[in-house]
């Protein structure tokens, strides 16, 4: 008679937070535009398909990781609020965080498979690239808006529980002027596409760097919260 295998213990909120933060070297790919351009030229354009793959891959993976970071932080704060009898008082803020996390989940549910999108660009050429740039920009706008709003609510919750966080970057990026960029692309016979690619790369790089700063502070605050 076989002995049933006991279920694996599930990580608590603090462990989930630590694991999600520690994964950023795996998910938050940072582009160097000039290096990417150099490899594209040296490979006679073949490397550009790898760029497309990486752009979509990091957009998907970074969003998933950030969702886990913020969800774990929210769960940790809820546990502390419940233990100290402040859950009812802070429930509206926890509900607000949950709503912003749902937006991040919605972004994760969009059709952004990096392999398929690389194939689409390979088949359709410039048209696929333009569509890809637009989608990546729209996703970053939604992602950044939701995560910054969630961070603001979490900062208020952590402060109320005695573990203040630095304020989240208040402003979030706006959408590119898509029509203007497409016109510029046509007028320059495609050369403007390099500028557009630079913006897509650098704006996501900047988002990652801001997130890292917030995560470092969040981990310190989580330690303070757990020790109380």
CA distance 148 to 207: 10
pLDDT at residue 224, as a whole number: 86
Asked if residue 17 is part of any domain, the answer here is no
Q: Are 30 and 93 in contact (CB under 8 A)?
A: no
Asked if residue 164 is part of any domain, the answer here is yes
Helix, coil or strand: residue 11: coil
Q: Residue for token digits 């999600």? A: 20
pLDDT at residue 1, as a whole number: 46
The string of pLDDT tens digits covering residues 148-190 is: 999 999 999 999 999 888 877 766 789 999 999 999 999 999 9
**And the tokens for 112?**
């952004």
**And the tokens for 131?**
């569509």
Domain count for the chain, please give it. 1
Stretches in the chain below the pLDDT threshold 70: 1-10, 170-171, 227-228
Nearest to 210 by CA among 144, 127, 141: 144
**And the tokens for 56?**
């979509």
Residue 111 neighbours by CB distance under 10 Å: 7
Asked if residue 27 is part of any domain, the answer here is no
Query: Phi then psi for 168, rounded to 5 degrees?
Result: -75, 150
pLDDT at residue 11, as a whole number: 73
CA distance 58 to 39: 19
pLDDT at residue 141, as a whole number: 96
Asked if residue 75 is part of any domain, the answer here is yes
The range of the structural domain enclosing residue 148 comes to 32-227
pLDDT at residue 58, as a whole number: 96
């Amino acid at each position: 008679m076989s002995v049933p295998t006991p279920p694996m213990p599930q990580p608590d909120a603090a462990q989930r937070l630590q694991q999600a933060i520690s994964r950023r070297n795996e998910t938050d790919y940072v582009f160097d535009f000039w290096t990417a351009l150099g490899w594209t030229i040296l490979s006679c354009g073949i490397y550009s398909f790898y760029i497309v793959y990486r752009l979509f891959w990091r957009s998907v993976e970074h969003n998933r990781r950030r969702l886990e970071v913020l969800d774990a932080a929210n769960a940790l704060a809820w546990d502390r609020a419940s233990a100290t009898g402040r859950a009812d008082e802070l429930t509206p803020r926890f509900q607000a965080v949950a709503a912003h996390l749902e937006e991040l989940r919605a972004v994760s549910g969009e059709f952004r498979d990096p392999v398929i999108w690389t194939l689409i660009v390979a088949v359709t050429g410039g048209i696929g690239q333009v569509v890809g740039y637009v989608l990546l920009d729209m996703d970053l706008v939604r992602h950044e808006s939701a995560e910054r709003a969630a961070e603001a609510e979490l900062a208020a919750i952590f402060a109320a529980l005695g573990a203040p966080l630095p304020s989240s970057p208040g402003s979030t990026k706006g959408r590119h002027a898509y029509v203007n960029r497409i016109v510029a692309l046509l007028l320059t016979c495609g050369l403007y596409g390099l500028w557009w690619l630079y913006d897509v790369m650098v704006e996501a790089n900047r988002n990652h760097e801001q997130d890292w700063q917030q995560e470092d502070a969040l981990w310190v605050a989580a330690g303070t919260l757990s020790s109380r």
